[in-house]
Structure 1
C-alpha cells in the first residue's frame, strides 16, 4: 500500500505558474496512468495559458472562485465545479475571488513539464 498526506507534499511550481502539491504521481506516490495534485492560485493570479498535447486533465474546485478558459469558451467556476480539459485544448485559470483559489487536478497520463506548451509569456 502507498499512502501519502497533503501535509507531507512539498509544493513546487509548474510551467504554467501554479503552485502544486502532488498527492499521487511521479513526484510523490507511484502511479501508472495518472497523477493527482492540489494547485493553488493567489488572489489576482492566473495560470499561464497552455496546453498539454497528450494529457487529459480534470480540475475540481475545492476553494475560492475563478474564471476558466478552454479554447474560446470562458465560464465562471466555484467550489464543487469539475472541468474536463481534453488533450490539446488551450486553457487558463484565473482567480477572480478575494481568497486563494484551490483545485484538485487529475492528469492522465501523469503531469509532465515535457507535455506542457506555454501559449503566452509567464507574466501575461
Structure 2
C-alpha cells in the first residue's frame, strides 16, 4: 500500500480547451487541495478566452515565447522568466503575439477545478 503522502505520476496528455489553449495537468489531485500546477501552451496569433477563477489565485511563470497578458483591463508584455500574479476573481487572458508557441506554468491556489472557471465572453458576465 502506498503512503498517503505519495501521488503516483498521473500527468495527463496535452488537451485543447475551450479557452483556446493547450493544457497539460502536472499536479491536480484531491490529495493536494491547496495547489495545482499545469503547463499551458498558446499558439502564435491566439488570444485565450477572457475568464476569471472564482476563489482561486493563479500565477503564470513564462517558460518560452512572448506575448501580452491582460488582467482586469491592464496589459503587460511578457517573455521567458516573467511571472504574473493573478488575484482570485480577476478577469484575465493572454495573447501570443510572437512567432513561436507561448508556454507558461499555471500555479493555482487552492487547486483548479472546472467549477471555479467563469467564461466572461460567451454568455458570461463580460
TM-score, shorter chain, exceeding 0.5: yes
Per the shorter chain, which TM-score range? 0.7 to 0.9
Match of 1:23 in 2: 26
8 Å contact kept, 1:14–1:113: no
Q: Take 1:4 and 1:81, find their aligned partners in 2: how far apart are those partners?
A: 28
Q: State the Cα distance separating 1:81 from its structure 2 match.
A: 0.3
4+ aligned runs moved over 4 Å, structure 1:
none
1:79–1:116 Cα change, 3 Å: same
- The count of residues paired between Structure 1 and Structure 2 equals 118
The SS at the match of 2:67 is strand
Q: Deviations over 1:6-33 (max 9, x none)?
A: xx5311234423211011113xx84221
Any unmatched runs of 5+ in structure 1? none
1:14–1:109 Cα change, 3 Å: farther
Q: TM-score, normalised by structure 1?
A: 0.86
The SS at the match of 2:19 is coil
Which structure 2 residues correspond to residues 1-124 of structure 1 after superposition, within 5 A?
Answer: 1-2=6-7, 4=9, 9-26=12-29, 30-121=31-122
8 Å contact kept, 2:20–2:46: no
RMSD, aligned CA: 2.0
